[in-house]
Structure 1
Amino acid sequence: MGQIDAKLVKQYEETPLAELADAPVSALQGVSDGDAQHLKDAFNIKTVRDLGTNKYFLWAQAITKLAE
């Protein structure tokens, strides 16, 4: 996943990874504040870390990889 900064909104491009994990999901390019609210409402996802460790997203990734 080279060029992590290209996957972030401008405000977070220089943020260290340790801090980025605890940034709001809206720090990711393409995730609007409205999208972030939906993630919070549906899965209690508030941070990049929450998104990356959410069991449903991990299950979906595993199924997708195994299907390949």
Structure 2
Amino acid sequence: MGDIAGKVDKAYEDKTIAEIADAPVDALQGVSEGDAQKLKDAFNIKTVRDLGTNKYFLWAQSIAKLAE
């Protein structure tokens, strides 16, 4: 993930990793405000950090890796 700037919206390209982690989920490229609202409603995910540490997403990622 060397090119973090390529994975976040333009407004976040010059932010630190800590600032991006604490940014709203829609700071990620391809995640709309509507998508972010759905994540908040379903899983109480408000930030990039919340998304990256959500137990259900981590479980799914582990299962997918094991299935490879």
- Which TM-score band (shorter chain)? over 0.9
Partner-residue secondary structure (3-state), 2:26: helix
Letter in 1 for 2:55: K
Corresponding residue for residue 48 of structure 1: 48
Unaligned runs of 5+ in 1: none
Cα deviation digits, residues 6-60 of structure 1 (max 9, x gap):
0000000000001111000000000000000000000000000000000000000
Unaligned runs of 5+ in 2: none
**Number of residue pairs the alignment of both structures matches:** 68
The TM-score, its normalising length taken from structure 1, stands at: 0.98
The alpha carbon displacement at 1:2 in A equals 1.7
The TM-score, its normalising length taken from structure 2, stands at: 0.98
Identity between Structure 1 and Structure 2 (%): 76
Corresponding residue for residue 28 of structure 2: 28
What is the root-mean-square deviation in Å for CA atoms of aligned residues?
A: 0.5
Partner-residue secondary structure (3-state), 1:59: helix
